[in-house]
Structure 1
Amino acid sequence: MAPGRIVFLNGTSSSGKSSIARELLHILDDGLFFHMAVDDFNAMRSRRELGAEELDAALRRTRMGFHRSIAAMAEAGNDIVVDHVLSEPWRLLDCLAVLRPEDVLFVGVHCPLDELTRRELARGDRPPGLAAHQYDLVHSHGDYDLECDTSSAGARECAQQIKEFLPRRPTPTAFTRLRRRLLSGSRER
């Protein structure tokens, strides 16, 4: 069985990743895609109060489990749309270590900070300043296969761009290039 394709959307909170993912599920017609979002994994845990150190450890384990769940779904032949925030360097490194780089279309989802702030306030379900905190971190690796800006294009338009680009993924992929650059000297799969 051939491994599944992974459309990996990375951007700050409120950048439009989930909206793009929902649109992709409607328009991608050359396979059966599953939307896997890091927020959904966070929502699965119990709600008891945790101290800062315990919470940090739990969130790290959750994200590591999320990455391995993506890999397992793709390895079983499922096509995946991933919705993630790579706001800590180790998250990208872990994804590079566990995902087959040739199967990943890495998409940068951008939006100007003033618009992110406006969206965050309108949503009301995120801590104020979260997107601003993540803004310089999520794209710091500097390499994507495709990038979109949700301030100038709607979710449907971004999804259409991704759909048209998917069959002509570059070789090597951004994940392959990043793996070579960031994991050189370490053991790769």
Structure 2
Amino acid sequence: MAVGSEPPQLLKQKLLYHGRKFNFEVSRLRLPNRAEGEWECIRHPGGAVAVPVTEDGKLVLVKQYRFAAQGRLIEFPAGTIEPDEDPATTVEREIQEETGYRAHRWRKVGKFFVAPGYSDEVIHVFLAQDLEKLETPPPQDHDEDIETILMTPQELEQAILEGEPVDSKSISSLLLVRPFL
């Protein structure tokens, strides 16, 4: 058997925190080389992100206050997957709530781990096209502070290179949709 192909053995698992969006646990594992240790992990249901593109090629983004970052970040609209919910349903809801747009054409372009060193969160990325601005968008969540902005792909890339506060899921998502823009 190749090195690393045998999974570690779970010896003990302890839930330290049960939260609204994620859980935090510590697991004791025995590795295939017989070494033992503890690993901390944030267990997250995953998320879905939309990369909305207008007919004239502009990206629909949001500027959103993020407590952990202590500021407003430029992001694509996204949300946490609810229990028993398909990522496509999540992203359709979030684009409407966060931007006031509805997409009539969707393409799943990929997925990625956010931070596999300490979390199992996976983000599903969708390209959203054939947009319609809703006359009456659904209300935003009560705990969100969001402003919708439009940027060309080049403007977003320049903002990233200049160090403007753009979150990593949006940077990764832009890379995944680039061939379709």
More helix per residue: 1
Higher RCO (Cα < 8 Å, 6 or more apart): 1
TM-score w.r.t. structure 2 length?
Answer: 0.24
Which has more strand, going by share of residues? 2
